[in-house]
Amino acid sequence: MQKPAGPRRWTTASAVSSPTVPDRDAAVLSHHRSELRALVIGAGPAGSVSAANLARRGYHVDVFERRSQPTEAQAASNRSYPMLISERSLQALERAGLRPKFLEGTPFDGMVSLTRGMTVRFSTSSQHIVHRLQLGLQLIAAAQEAYPGQIHYHYSQQLDEVDFEGQQASFTSFDGREPQKHSYDLLIGADGANSRVRELMQAADPRMRSTAISKAKSTYKTFHDLPPLPEGCHFSEGFEAHQPGQHMYMALGKGKEAKVATVAMWKNTAGRMCGMAALNHWEQWGHTPDEMKASGLPIPEPWLRAIGKQFDEQDFNGFGRIVKCTRIYGHRTALVGDAAHAVTSVLGQGCNTALSTCTALDKAMAASNLDDPDKIDDALDHYNSVWLPEAHALQRLEFMSSMARQPADRVTSFPLQAWWVKGLMLASTLTSVGLNKLSPSRFPNAFGTIQELQDPSLPYSVLLQRVYMRATGFAVVAAAVMSGLGWVVNAQLLHGA
């Protein structure tokens, strides 16, 4: 059994921004601190981490968010779902000098399969479970604490227009204030899959295009704060001793008639159960206790009733879409997170990739001559050339994984491509399992890409190459075996003749 990672050593924001750090960081901009200004559009995780990185480099940062100021109560809303924060995200937070509150909790220690009664661990690296909205709130607080006076958040502010040549952005206020214009030295679009910044960039630059290449076919609803189970009601082995955030509990619907496909649950900081349920089809939704029980979900009856009651009060939510961009920068402007490369939840890399984008941008700026603000576009061009291929590789992996998981009876569009992808992904997975059985020390990743995604040292482009290589190896071995069998059969026939 793999042991969970030990406590992580974190660098403070002041240490990160010290002149002794080897890359070209905030000290390079010491004489520009009162001059350089960045606007970040979007106060989500990517927006806050980008703001922290820029503050570390001497920028005064204003973050604009079209929604109202978030509250703790919203963290329990019907769209607040649990996310698994992996080492890729943790490295991005550490680089930015941020230490959000969730890091004080118990690290994640594996998925508990309620269907099979076993715990599966994909990684020994440090990981944490956190609600989406709680993550956003905690990063805002961490950014303001780490860089007081350098980062300012503005809520209920909708971006209207951008004069890219004049480096000026216009905003409309939702709280009754007059429209405002703000000048900038650098504009960061961190405003999600439906990015307004990206839309304006496309209108201004014919080289900038985005395409939605895939949309998740499943829907979900969430639940929170389930009541304690009555005495004698069993849930999972050792559940009472598990710490908040230590495990994710997974239940899969059984059979083709199952209306609920997956239920994911976890303990929040108060020790109460939260989670989400997903359905593979848009056309149906079975959320009553009887329908969930008929789906074969091993969840106690009292919780099924509580979940069903909360579901009755919610609308459906979608898992998003894959949006592919031809470029992710313009004059003094860059896109990060879902604005740069939206993904779905298939591989669980949405937040991890978004924060990795911030690291990629920060590294590109570190490698450039920031002593001259006119060189900012050179840094953004470098960011685009280095990161965009990685984003496209992940999106390709997501698209292939999504198609491979599509039930056989649901393959209606592009059936030849779908079955080819299914075969390729199956061959890659079987090769991973086979190599792990033959030599566990040399090939420790029995789950292939799923495990490898947890390793931040492996670029997404390398992971995609490995999928193709494993599938090719499987095909070569299979062809050799079939050829050998054919030779033996032919020899037997000739001998019999």
User: Following DSSP, what letter does each residue of 134-171 receive, concatenated?
Assistant: HHHHHHHHHHHHHSTTTEEEEESEEEEEEETTTTEEEE
What would the DSSP string read from start to end of 48-89?
A: HHHHHHHHHTT-EEEEEESSPPP-TGGGGSTT--EEEE-HHH
Nearby residues of 158 by Cβ (< 8 Å), 6 or more positions away: 66, 171, 172, 173, 174, 196
Cβ atoms of 276 and 263 closer than 8 Å: yes
Per-residue model confidence (pLDDT) at position 330:
96
- Helix residue ranges, H only, 159-270: 196-204
Q: What pLDDT does residue 332 have?
A: 96
Would you state the pLDDT for residue 447? 66
268-282 burial string, b = 16+ CB within 10 Å, else e?
Answer: bbeeebbbbbbbbee
Q: Which of 196, 177, 77 is nearest to 136 (CA)?
A: 77
What is the reported pLDDT for 371?
53
Instruction: Give residue 269's pLDDT.
Output: 84
What pLDDT score was predicted for residue 461?
A: 94
- State phi, psi for 309 to the nearest 5 degrees: -65, -40
pLDDT at 473: 85
What pLDDT is stored for residue 25 in this prediction? Answer: 47
Which ranges of the chain have pLDDT less than 70?
A: 1-34, 74-80, 117-125, 215-217, 255-260, 280-289, 291-295, 369-373, 405-417, 419, 444-447, 496-497
Q: What is the mean pLDDT of the chain?
A: 82
Spatial CB neighbours of 77, under 8 Å, sequence gap ≥ 6: 133
State residue 394's pLDDT score: 94
Pairing of strands 37-41, 128-131: unpaired
Give the tens place of pLDDT for each residue, 386-416: 999 999 999 998 888 877 766 555 555 556 6
Q: What's the pTM value of the predicted model, to 2 decimals?
A: 0.85
At residue 187, the pLDDT reads: 98
What integer pLDDT is reported at residue 45 of this predicted model? 96
The Cα diameter of the chain in Å comes to 95
Q: What is the pLDDT of residue 4?
A: 45
Residue 62 near residue 39 (C-beta atoms within 8 A)? yes
User: According to the model, what pLDDT value does residue 26 have?
Assistant: 45
Which of helix, strand or coil describes residue 43?
coil
Gap between the Cα atoms of 380 and 201, Å rounded: 14
